[in-house]
């Protein structure tokens, strides 16, 4: 499988090395406007320079690159693993449109453990809710993360909302001057130190609390998750895949 990595930041470098180490993959090259180190593979500044046959692109770059990646993917019918964060709603619509022509995996979190967390939450959330438990989501990340709440926190809320469609998300209670409504799901963000990523779904009932939590101890979980997703979608029919339906 010929793989192209888009992005040469910290994650891009780790993904490129993981592709090299995988016997089922061949790293054709890396696309990045800037390279701060030499690599043995081809170094492209844009997708317009790529003439090789590409089976899949793994993208850990920036939302501004999405349009070019989608165009290249559709034109060359290659699978896409989109692990970049911060897409707008309009960009998500463009991803959905392109997925009618090629297989695309899009997730703000590629960890297999998080995919299991979503399955657990989906299994139990409605039963807790129907038995008068309040549901809250707390996410923690390093102090360099720009967006809040995290895409994974939004994913967890979406999983809950799919089965309990009367819920509504609440991001800030500082301007709210009434007691908590049953249908509210609070989503709280912490930005501190070097926390790789921690997501907790809390179910609070009368005199008891149940927490379901995923903690990332390094960025390697996201790298290996992207590799796994790439291997799974490359031979799939056209469609949009995420942690909710890939595994």
Residue 111 known to bind ligand: no
246 inside domain: no
What range does the domain containing 69 cover?
2-106+220-241
189 inside domain: yes
Residue 162 known to bind ligand: no
d(CA 105, CA 44): 23
The enclosing domain of 65 has a CATH number of: 3.40.50.720
% of the chain residues with pLDDT over 90: 81
**Residue 222 near residue 216, CB atoms below 8 Å:** yes
Residues 193 and 224 in one domain: no
Residue 119 known to bind ligand: no
- Whole-number pLDDT of residue 8: 94
Residues 7 and 102 in one domain: yes
Average pLDDT of the segment spanning 173-183: 89
Residues 39 and 125 in one domain: no
Residues 49 and 143 in one domain: no
52 inside domain: yes
Residues 95 and 156 in one domain: no
Residues 211 and 227 in one domain: no
Sheet bearing 134-141, strands edge to edge? 168-170, 184-191, 134-141, 197-205, 208-216
Residues 229 and 207 in one domain: no
The enclosing domain of 139 has a CATH number of: 3.30.360.10
142 inside domain: yes
Residues 70 and 36 in one domain: yes
**Residue 63 near residue 9, CB atoms below 8 Å:** no
Is the model's pLDDT at 188 over the cut of 80?
Answer: yes
Query: Which has more confidence, 37 or 65?
Result: 65
Is the model's pLDDT at 235 over the cut of 90?
Answer: no
Residue 41 known to bind ligand: yes
- Whole-number pLDDT of residue 109: 85
Residues 102 and 224 in one domain: yes
Residue 56: pLDDT band (50, 70, 90) is very high
Average pLDDT of the segment spanning 138-162: 92
247 inside domain: no
Residues 124 and 38 in one domain: no
Rg of the chain over CA atoms, in angstroms? 19
Residue 42 known to bind ligand: yes
Residue 151 known to bind ligand: yes
Residue 172: pLDDT band (50, 70, 90) is confident
Average pLDDT of the segment spanning 122-143: 97
Active site residues: 141, 145
- Whole-number pLDDT of residue 176: 80
- Chain segment 70-98, per-residue pLDDT in tens: 999 999 999 999 998 888 899 999 999 99
Residue 38 known to bind ligand: no
Residues 92 and 185 in one domain: no
d(CA 125, CA 202): 10
Residues 101 and 178 in one domain: no
d(CA 104, CA 234): 9
Is the model's pLDDT at 247 over the cut of 90?
Answer: no
Domains contained in the chain, number: 2
């Amino acid at each position: 499988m010929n793989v192209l990595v888009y992005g040469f930041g910290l994650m891009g470098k780790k993904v490129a090395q993981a592709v090299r180490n995988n016997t089922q993959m061949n790293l054709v090259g890396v696309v990045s406007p800037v390279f701060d180190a030499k690599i043995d593979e081809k170094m492209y500044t844009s997708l317009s320079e790529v003439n090789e046959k590409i089976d899949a692109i793994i993208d850990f770059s920036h939302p501004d690159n999405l349009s070019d990646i989608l165009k290249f993917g559709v034109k060359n019918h290659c699978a896409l693993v989109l692990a970049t964060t911060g897409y707008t709603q309009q960009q998500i619509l463009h991803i959905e449109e392109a997925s009618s022509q090629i297989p695309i995996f899009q997730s703000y979190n590629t960890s297999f453990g998080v995919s299991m967390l979503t399955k657990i939450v989906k299994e139990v959330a409605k039963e807790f809710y129907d038995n008068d438990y309040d549901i809250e989501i707390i996410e923690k990340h390093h102090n360099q993360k720009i967006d809040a709440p995290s895409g994974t926190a939004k994913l967890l809320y979406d999983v809950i909302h799919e089965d309990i469609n009367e819920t509504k998300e609440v991001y800030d209670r500082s301007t709210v001057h009434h007691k908590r409504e049953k249908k509210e799901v609070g989503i709280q963000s912490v930005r501190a130190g070097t926390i790789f990523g921690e997501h907790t779904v809390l179910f609070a009932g009368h005199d008891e609390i149940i927490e379901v939590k995923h903690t990332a101890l390094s960025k390697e979980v996201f790298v290996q998750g992207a590799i796994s997703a790439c291997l799974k979608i490359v031979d799939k029919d056209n469609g949009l895949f995420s942690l909710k339906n890939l595994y």
